[in-house]
């Protein structure tokens, strides 16, 4: 709910036993009724009069929809956002839209349950505009004493509504805010404080599968990349009303506290330790300087020997690395903890099996001192994960890049520029280029400019990263040719499938593989729906007429994925 709602409330009888209080009934709309709606969405009061609202009861299958408002007083004045949702839900119901993992995730086989389409067809939808007695202007904060309305009660109940829901969809098609002219997208949704709170309440719930579905367009849906939420603290989010910040941050603290309590008692213990390690960072708290006794108690180790020798996923060293504690790293290694140990069993959180401590430190955006401490304790800067990458591929900020280069990391061996351009900021990329790295490196069969749109959907700096590469004379018309045997086989199979069913019949992941051979960065930007990046590449003389090996020009690919907003832009530059 990205417009920053939040007024006060007095305690009321909870509607069910949950972590967060439910102070106002959860009203939902039948998905079948929603699919019949057209045009500008009508508010709670109108739907109530028409008999389209239903009180939630346990046993109902509910989809919670989180979205950023496209107007000051109306969430979707032109009905564009909800049109995408309707088309997406129809496709999910009809099994013509496949939700897949982010292309760089390890668990590429992850899918919705086989009966999800039936449950969606017979299910219900929660949307703030439909479910909350609406106020049209935000003039007060969550806890203002004079705002004790039903709207306030409902807004305070949003975390409970998230808990009660079975699916969570982040609705993030790229659209323009009608009042501010700001382009709203996945990145801007991730920046909103209330959206972050909804996200946290979902991922920190005790549901068996708290996955988030990100709906980019009616034809493009992915499960959220695991690291994304860990990088978005509620306390740093954008709020329409500044006084909401402390209250909404407290909602996140409560959710995290309950998650820790549940994991401590029910396990897995490694998951408890991971959440405990990242807790100070998530809540914006000062990092603790643990003594050994406090460290053992904090992470539920029986003694120092268990912290040193435990191989159950979250070792003592991993706790210290993710907790940003260089002193404890040094202490544990001096006690013979293995500085060459690897992450195992933590893929759900984005730390994949066989990744080293240095890689985990990079991925979790640890301060440079954490890396230099590991390096001083003889961590191997050249160690590879089973994917073939080294730590510098995962660097997130220039301090990490400089520390790894000073330790003789070879940025040329594992396509460091491509990796850093995928997820990090412009200054980290610049640090590699200053070290004479090639802006057109292509050992993976494609270059950094391809990686920017392919992997950077949650990166708020993709334009700055692309500009740094362009300024370094990266080839904006470089064509991709995947070079590894497995990549070539996957791409060949996807192209064969495309000949049978057409691009429109492919899943998002299959489509990216089918079109990759011969693609330019502009074509990848068109496939991913990155409008500002498409404009930037065209301004840098990217050629919109270069086809891939199948013969698809960027415009053809945009059309196949329903990126109609890109067609006028590509037409303008097309010869």
3-state helix, strand, coil in the chain (%, to 5): 45, 5, 45
Closest to 27 (Cα-Cα) out of 37, 15, 17: 15
Instruction: Please state, in angstroms and rounded to a whole number, the distance separating the CA atoms of residues 114 and 102.
Output: 20
> Residue 242 burial by CB count (10 A; 0-12/13-18/19+): exposed, middle or buried?
exposed
User: What was the pLDDT predicted at 104?
Assistant: 74
Q: Considering the domain 485-573 in this protein, what is its CATH number? A: 1.25.40.20
Instruction: Please state, in angstroms and rounded to a whole number, the distance separating the CA atoms of residues 421 and 423.
Output: 6
Residues in the chain: 575
> Residue 564 burial by CB count (10 A; 0-12/13-18/19+): exposed, middle or buried?
exposed
User: What was the pLDDT predicted at 5?
Assistant: 41
Its pTM stands at 0.91
Contacts of 406 (CB under 8 A, 6+ apart): none
Instruction: Please state, in angstroms and rounded to a whole number, the distance separating the CA atoms of residues 450 and 481.
Output: 11
Q: Which residues lie across from 124 on neighbouring strands? A: 30, 62
Instruction: Please state, in angstroms and rounded to a whole number, the distance separating the CA atoms of residues 410 and 382.
Output: 7
Domain spans of the chain, in order of start: 27-256, 485-573
DSSP assignment letter at 342: B
pLDDT tens for the 575 residues of the chain, in order: 555 443 233 333 434 457 788 999 999 999 999 999 999 999 999 999 999 999 999 999 999 999 999 999 999 999 999 999 999 999 999 999 999 888 776 565 688 988 999 999 999 999 999 999 875 434 444 444 444 588 888 888 999 999 999 999 999 999 999 999 999 999 999 999 999 999 999 999 988 889 999 999 998 999 998 888 999 999 999 998 898 999 999 999 999 999 999 999 999 999 999 999 999 999 999 887 899 999 999 999 999 999 998 776 899 999 999 999 999 999 999 999 999 999 999 998 999 999 999 999 999 999 999 999 999 999 999 999 998 999 999 999 999 999 999 999 999 888 999 999 999 999 999 999 999 999 999 887 899 999 999 999 999 999 999 999 999 999 999 999 987 777 788 888 888 988 898 888 888 888 888 999 999 999 999 999 999 999 999 999 999 999 999 999 999 999 888 888 899 999 886 65
Indicate the helix (H) or strand (E) that contains 214.
strand 213-217
Closest to 319 (Cα-Cα) out of 382, 285, 361: 361
Alpha carbon separation from 8 to 63, 164, 563 (Å, rounded): 25, 21, 41
User: What was the pLDDT predicted at 506?
Assistant: 84
Instruction: Please state, in angstroms and rounded to a whole number, the distance separating the CA atoms of residues 479 and 547.
Output: 9
Instruction: Please state, in angstroms and rounded to a whole number, the distance separating the CA atoms of residues 279 and 253.
Output: 9
What tokens appear for 109 in the block? 């086989």
8 Å CB contact between 220 and 104: no
User: What was the pLDDT predicted at 146?
Assistant: 41
Whether the upstream peptide bond of residue 328 has omega within 30° of 0, thus cis, is no
8 Å CB contact between 170 and 224: yes
For the residues of 502-570, what is the DSSP string, one character each? -GGGS-HHHHHHHHHTT--HHHHHHHHT-HHHHHHHHHTT--TT---TTS--HHHHHHHTT-GGGHHHH
| Buried b / exposed e along 325-353 (16+ C-beta atoms within 10 A) | bbebbebbbeeebebeebbbbbeebbbbe
Contacts of 133 (CB under 8 A, 6+ apart): 44, 45, 149, 150, 151, 154
Instruction: Please state, in angstroms and rounded to a whole number, the distance separating the CA atoms of residues 536 and 339.
Output: 43
> Residue 409 burial by CB count (10 A; 0-12/13-18/19+): exposed, middle or buried?
buried
Instruction: Please state, in angstroms and rounded to a whole number, the distance separating the CA atoms of residues 490 and 182.
Output: 38
Give me the phi and psi of 336, to 5 degrees please: 85, 20
Closest to 251 (Cα-Cα) out of 275, 233, 269, 228: 233
8 Å CB contact between 518 and 479: yes
């Amino acid at each position: 709910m990205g417009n920053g709602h939040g007024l006060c409330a007095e305690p009321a009888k909870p509607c069910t036993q949950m972590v967060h209080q439910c102070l106002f009934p959860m009203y939902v709309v039948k998905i079948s009724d929603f699919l019949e709606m057209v045009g500008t969405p009508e508010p709670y009061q109108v739907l109530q009069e028409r008999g389209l609202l239903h009180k939630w009861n346990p046993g109902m299958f509910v989809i919670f929809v989180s979205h950023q408002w496209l107007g000051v007083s109306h969430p979707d004045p032109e009905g564009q956002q909800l049109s995408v949702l309707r088309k997406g839900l129809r496709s999910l119901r009809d099994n013509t839209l496949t939700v897949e993992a982010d292309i760089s995730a390890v668990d590429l086989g992850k899918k919705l349950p086989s009966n999800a389409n039936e449950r969606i067809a017979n299910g219900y939808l929660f949307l703030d505009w439909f479910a909350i007695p609406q106020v049209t202007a935000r003039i007060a904060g969550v806890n203002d004493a004079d705002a004790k309305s039903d709207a306030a009660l409902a807004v305070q109940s949003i975390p409970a509504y998230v808990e009660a829901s079975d699916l969570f969809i982040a609705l993030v098609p790229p659209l323009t805010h009608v009042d501010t002219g700001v382009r709203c997208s996945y990145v801007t949704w991730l920046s909103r404080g209330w959206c972050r709170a909804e996200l946290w309440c979902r991922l920190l719930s005790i549901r068996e599968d708290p996955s988030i579905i990100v709906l980019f367009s009616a034809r493009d849906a992915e499960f959220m990349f695991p690291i994304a939420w860990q990088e978005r603290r509620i306390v740093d989010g954008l709020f329409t009303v500044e006084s909401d910040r402390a209250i909404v941050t407290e909602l996140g603290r409560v959710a995290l506290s309950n998650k820790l309590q549940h994991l401590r008692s029910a396990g897995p213990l490694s998951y408890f330790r991971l959440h405990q390690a990242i807790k100070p960072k998530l809540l914006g708290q000062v990092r603790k300087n643990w003594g050994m006794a406090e460290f053992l108690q904090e992470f539920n180790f029986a003694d120092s020997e268990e912290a040193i020798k435990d191989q159950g996923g979250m070792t003592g060293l991993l706790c210290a690395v993710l907790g940003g504690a260089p002193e404890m790293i040094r202490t544990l290694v001096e006690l013979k903890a293995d500085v060459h140990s690897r992450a195992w069993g933590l893929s759900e959180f984005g730390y994949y099996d066989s990744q080293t401590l240095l890689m985990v430190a990079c991925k979790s955006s640890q301060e440079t001192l954490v890396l230099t401490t590991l390096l001083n304790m003889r961590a191997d800067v050249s160690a590879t994960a089973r994917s073939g990458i080294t730590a510098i591929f995962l660097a997130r900020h220039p301090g990490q890049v400089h520390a790894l280069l000073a330790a003789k990391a070879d940025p040329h061996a594992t396509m460091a520029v491509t990796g850093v351009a995928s997820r990090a900021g412009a200054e980290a990329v610049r640090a590699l280029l200053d070290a004479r790295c090639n802006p057109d490196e292509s050992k993976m069969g494609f270059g950094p400019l391809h990686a920017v749109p392919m992997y950077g959907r949650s990166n708020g700096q993709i334009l700055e990263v692309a500009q740094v590469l362009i300024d370094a004379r990266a080839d904006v018309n470089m064509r991709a040719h995947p070079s590894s045997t497995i990549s070539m086989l996957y791409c060949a199979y996807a192209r064969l499938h495309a000949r049978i069913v057409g691009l429109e019949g492919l899943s998002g992941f299959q489509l990216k593989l089918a079109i990759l051979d011969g693609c330019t960065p502009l074509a990848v930007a068109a496939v991913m729906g990155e409008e500002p990046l498409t404009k930037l590449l065209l301004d840098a003389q990217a050629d919109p007429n270069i086809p891939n090996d199948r013969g698809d020009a960027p415009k053809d690919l945009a059309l196949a994925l329903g990126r109609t907003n890109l067609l006028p832009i590509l037409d303008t530059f097309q010869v």
